[in-house]
Structure 1
């Protein structure tokens, strides 16, 4: 049912109008909630360090995680001690948790595990972002590594957390679908929300006015079992099976096609879905290789086979986007 509704958001179907009353209810509730924060009836919590939120206004995979990684690396290179917080979707932890190198994706979630692997930044996950951020700040102090700035992976609509800057990521291929609010459409908030962001990043499409384009650049394939890079030729000369458990699996499959890889079979899984060895082992036969995203790989490493490989990607943004965020951070630090 969910996949049918999602297709209707982007491809269109008259039955979607059944959800119009629920959309109006959603609009009323979310508008009231924003008003309560605006009037100060519901209180925002300001942390002792600046917060940058990287989020989106639609549900589904937009490419936030690569942007968080890019931003964390950029600010670290500028000399800032960066921390990251996340809800930790798909993880088992319900209380705030520090994500360490040896923390399993099953506990902390796939995206936090990937972020820590790629950036080495201090990171915490938890359902309550305020408590999670406070835990991260306390942990950093104990490590004599006080944070200069916190990046929130998602949380654009989490108004309780005060923030000094917002970055919104837009899916350049699917855009905003039918431009309706949930559940009639994919929008968490109306397109008006883009006007409040300091930076709008277009992932993989032709940029519209005010958007900065981002491209996800494939890196060398790596072994899921040991993270070691492998030669491209060791993959292209075999029968290929591809899997993806991300918000928009087709983006990964399209990437493989643009790389010139002939994929024999594709398997799309739900975003943040937990995997077990029997499910993934059943995807390939003798002489075949299995290709997956890095986000999938962090959940499969414990039972990985030698014929499983993942494709790391890195975000490449325009120089203008880089300068915009650096100018904004300088402004924030001077006024904080």
Structure 2
């Protein structure tokens, strides 16, 4: 997903009257989406068969919402209950793979995608990338897992799913509530009433239009800064009052810049397109201020050894009561009990 121009952001997430000029096109887009879903429901389009229950972690909006941190949280939470899960992805940002490819932690982001590589390295779980997600699930089953988690793919109806989780950006919500191109939505808001749970990432209040009975809160907790060149970590409290260059090639870079500011840093923001390949000059500035990037950006800097460059890890945190309810809903939907063992 390329960076969304500023005027489009204002159109989608503001009160711009210009959105109504694009509204007829949004109606055409919505009609196409509805017809496609109906075709799958009526059997006109075939849903693929897969040997594993699938949990889809997706969203309705264009751009980042926090899906990957939730995927990592699910892998850890399921492992704690004795369930070994794996991940499938299209591998955005990497080379397109028509045949399933098992991600190795030594792979390059340019080959398999930044998010699949991040997940494989952080979790140790098997991750398979393929343009055809159902084929990826079949390959994942060979790794002895009991469950497949699809990182994105809510709108990929050729892949069957046992559970659907939709992540919503708690700061931006559903924008103006309109489908593309007048708004940021790939499906209309009522689609959220059909998913098993809505996970709101950040924000002080719940966005409007969500099914409250199945909505829960998640927040991203930063860890110690890690040096790109290797070495000792840097405590977060050392950012207080420090001017930093913040580099972020993610779907919603403003969230990252805001997080650094909340940690006390004086932020010079450098947003980049989502999944954009980083160049060394993207990290070179005419001063000695430290450079801080996201973990997703760091995996695209393989082999670089530039001092003064750090990356910030984050972990998803969900309140215990809501976390237990989410896992119970997931186990019920997939038919798993937590007694499946750790696999092969």
The answer, yes or no, to whether TM exceeds 0.5 is: yes
Q: Residue 33 of structure 2 corresponds to which residue in structure 1?
A: 30
In structure 2, relative to structure 1, the CA distance for the partners of 1:300 and 1:334 (3 Å cut) is: closer
Give the alignment of 1:9-48 within 5 angstroms: 9-48=12-51
CA-based RMSD of the aligned residues comes to: 2.0
Instruction: Name the TM-score, length of structure 2 as normaliser.
Output: 0.90
- Alignment check: 8 A CA contact 2:242 2:266 kept: no
The question of 1:182 aligning with 2:180 is answered yes
Residue-by-residue CA offset, 1:100-149 (whole Å, 9 max, x unaligned) = 110111111111111112111000112111122222223x1xxxxx1100
Partner of 2:292: 291
How far the C-alpha of 1:301 sits from its partner, in A, is 3.4
Query: Which secondary structure state, in structure 2, belongs to the residue aligned with residue 255 of structure 1?
Result: helix
- Matched with 2:155 is 157
Matched, 1:88 2:88: no
Q: CA deviation at 1:14?
A: 2.4
Number of the residue aligned with 1:57? 60
Shift in Å, 1:232: 4.2
Q: Which residue of 1 aligns with 2:322?
A: 321
Residue 143 of structure 1 corresponds to none
- Structural mapping, 1:1-336, within 5 Å: 2-95=5-98, 96-138=100-142, 140=143, 146-205=144-203, 206-207=205-206, 209-210=212-213, 211-226=215-230, 228-232=232-236, 236=240, 239-263=243-267, 265-281=268-284, 284-331=285-332, 332-333=334-335
Q: CA deviation at 1:78?
A: 1.2
Determine helix, strand or coil for the equivalent of 2:218.
strand
Q: Which secondary structure state, in structure 2, belongs to the residue aligned with residue 65 of structure 1?
A: helix
1:236, CA displacement in angstroms?
Answer: 5.0
Classify the secondary structure of the residue corresponding to 2:91.
coil
Please give the alpha-carbon distance, in whole angstroms, between the structure 2 residues aligned to 1:228 and 1:30.
Answer: 50
Instruction: Name the SS of the counterpart of 1:321 in structure 2.
Output: helix
**CA-CA distance at 1:320 after TM superposition:** 2.9
Distance (Å, rounded) in 2 between the aligned partners of 1:9 and 1:334: 40
The Cα shift of 1:228 comes to: 4.7
Which residues of structure 2 form unaligned runs of 5+?
A: 338-344
| Contact kept in structure 1, 2:291 and 2:308, CA below 8 Å | yes
Q: Which has the higher contact order (CA 8 A, sep 6+)?
A: 2
CA distance 1:137–1:255, shift in 2 (3 Å): same
The alignment partner of 1:288 has SS state of coil
Secondary structure, counterpart of 1:174 in structure 2: coil
Deviation at 1:285, TM superposition (A): 2.9
Q: Deviations over 1:297-331 (max 9, x none)?
A: 11123224111001101000122332223212332
How far apart are the structure 1 equivalents of 2:185 and 2:246? 29
Q: Does structure 2 conserve the Cα–Cα contact (< 8 Å) formed by 1:212 and 1:320?
A: no
Q: Distance in 2 between matches of 1:176 and 1:227?
A: 41
Q: Is contact 1:244-1:296 (8 Å) kept?
A: yes
- For normalisation by structure 1, the TM-score amounts to 0.92
Q: CA deviation at 1:74?
A: 0.7
